[in-house]
Amino acid sequence: MNHIHLEKKGLRGLAIAESFKQGDDFSRLAGVVIRRDFIIDGFVFGKCTIEGDDATDAILDMYSRLNRDDISYIIISGLVISMYNIIDIKKIWETTKIPVIGVTYEESRGIEDTIRHHFPNSYETKLEQYSKLGKRTEITLHTGYKLYLRNEGCLLEEAKKFLDLVTVQGSVPEPIKVAQLLAKASSSLSFNQ
């Protein structure tokens, strides 16, 4: 297990978010390299298939294309994206050896029934992928808002301290906010070719 070195002002991480519109074949992924003091230090884009199984590999490709050895963590907005394209954070951690934090914002009893309904002929694989994610842990940020986390490669306490450092207001950490804005802006590009 690695640690997130919270004491480093220049601590850099990769934040990833997605955006897609109804009718798209692909979701746009945007990654931003951002320091703990909110200095932006790089961007990367990717895509994954709506309803597909390629989100994990897309994120690993984005990380690889950055070709950087100064990224100390990866934070992802949601681990079930692009209409049930499920991100395997264990695989990301095992491949990169960098702590990974998956963040969601709402309480949920799970999506097993929705997966069965949405994939009537192939739900077993999706359910297995979803089950591998494990349970989320609820935390309360210094802002008073709740987040729901899954983390690999770092302690939950470290993840919470880190999220408190990079969340200025509300519930969305600043690195994720920038990645979301970037993903949304990139949605005007056409990947459906």
What tens digit of pLDDT does each residue of 6-26 get? 666 678 999 999 999 888 999
- pTM of this structure: 0.92
pLDDT of residue 172: 96
Q: In whole angstroms, what is the distance from residue 44 CA to residue 29 CA?
A: 8
Which residues fall within 8 angstroms of residue 80, CB to CB, at 6 or more apart?
86, 87, 111, 130, 133
Integer Rg of the chain from CA = 16
Give residue 192's pLDDT band: very low, low, confident or very high (50, 70, 90).
very low
21-78 pLDDT tens trace: 888 999 999 999 999 889 999 999 999 999 999 999 999 999 999 999 999 999 999 9
Which residues fall within 8 angstroms of residue 93, CB to CB, at 6 or more apart?
99, 100, 152, 153
All domains of the chain, ordered by start, with CATH?
A: 12-186 (3.30.2170.10)
Q: Are 87 and 56 in contact (CB under 8 A)?
A: yes
